Amino acid sequence: MKISASFLKIQNDKVNIQTLAKDADYLHYDIMDGYFTSSKTLTFEEMKTNTVGIKTPKDIHLMVENIYQYVDKYATLKPEIITFHFEATKEVDKVIEYIKAKKIKVGLALNPDTPVTAIIPYLKQLDLVLVMSVEAGAGGQPFIDITDKLDYLDDYRKGHHLNYLIEVDGGLNPETISKVSKADIIVVGSYITNSHDYHQAFQNLKSKAFTLAELMGVIVILSILAVIVTVAVDISLKNSRFTTCEAQETSLIEAAKIWSYDHPQELPQTASESVDVFVNNDLIAGQYMEEELTNPMTEKPYSNSTKIKITTTTGEDYVYTIEYGADDKSCQK
């Protein structure tokens, strides 16, 4: 969830606007003409002067009747998005096309009393839907619960495979933010600008602004990490067991050598001959290895088909080779 910081309450304070923009994901311009709303904000030139040099993406919210005129002016600021009100025009399609023609993302805002179903015909064309949780025109108003609209827009977006963002504007603070978890962007003004520490106010909001999608993302990441750790542990365990196998093979060969010293008459005399000494039979019976020797990989006693094959090369030198049974081949790399 991203924060679009509104500077409505400090629009004449250039220094604090600059400070506000530092922690914001977007800088939210509330533009009022005194006709669509009873209040009127600064002129375009004043807005431009007070926000000069700010690199934070600009989120323009037009609360005006002459939409085209304001779009032309604010498009020169190279904003990320321009949002206009559904209630302000009968030419919603044309305005959407007009803004898109300027290579700017377009948003459509609706007031609390406007049913969300009224904007369904335009959802495929939009980059953003701004749901007002206060009446347009003034900051500092109490939050109006618009949860049902957010649920509808989120379900519709998923059901129709659309990508528009959902933004909420009005009355948002750490106490009300939990009611708009379906939002991708929240517009916050008074809570931040009324505080003595803008940075801390942002932190307070971000600690609460955790959407369901982000939570699922964290869960997915943690699940992937868990799989990675499990695989790493499994590989480490297997490597450890292979090392144990190798050490045990050395012990088995040494036991076979000792057995051969004690039974020289049973050793092969020509290269075409060989002798098999079974691990859990002859070696144990002759007391050369501990009883019920265990395969480190299976943690079970070796099968009787696992053996040490003793082969002569010259009649005096011998090669000792471990040949695992079908059930014990897991001890071979």
Q: Which residues in the chain belong to E strands, given as ranges? A: 2-6, 26-32, 58-63, 81-85, 105-110, 128-132, 165-169, 185-188, 274-278, 294-295, 300-301, 307-312, 318-323
169 classed as catalytic: yes
Of the candidates 23, 33, 169, 282, the residue annotated as catalytic is 169
Task: Give the pLDDT confidence score for residue 291 in this predicted structure.
Answer: 65
Domain ranges (residues) in the chain: 2-210, 222-331
- Are 4 and 26 in contact by the 8 Å Cβ rule? The answer is yes
CATH topology for 2-210?
A: TIM Barrel (3.20.20)
Task: Give the pLDDT confidence score for residue 305 in this predicted structure.
Answer: 81
User: Per DSSP, what are the bridge partners of residue 132?
Assistant: 169
Task: Give the pLDDT confidence score for residue 278 in this predicted structure.
Answer: 83
Task: Give the pLDDT confidence score for residue 143 in this predicted structure.
Answer: 87
Distance CA 63, CA 83 (A): 9
Model-level pTM? Answer: 0.65
List the pLDDT tens digit at each of the 333 positions of the chain: 899 999 999 999 999 999 999 999 999 999 999 999 989 999 999 999 999 999 999 999 999 999 999 999 999 999 999 999 999 999 999 999 999 999 999 999 999 999 999 999 999 999 999 999 998 876 667 889 999 999 999 999 999 999 999 999 988 999 899 899 899 999 999 999 999 999 999 999 988 765 545 666 667 787 888 777 777 766 676 777 778 888 888 888 888 888 888 888 888 888 778 888 888 777 765 667 766 778 887 888 887 788 888 898 877 788 988 888 887 887 775
Of the candidates 25, 30, 127, 282, the residue annotated as catalytic is 30
pLDDT in tens, 129-147: 999 999 887 666 788 999 9
Task: Give the pLDDT confidence score for residue 265 in this predicted structure.
Answer: 85
> What would the DSSP string read from start to end of 1-53?
-EEEEE-GGGTT-HHHHHHHHHH-SEEEEEEEBSSSSS-B---HHHHHHHTTT
| Residue 84, both tokens | 């206009």
Give the closest residue to 308 by CA, choosing from 253, 259, 268, 265: 253
pLDDT in tens, 28-67: 999 999 999 989 999 999 999 999 999 999 999 999 999 9
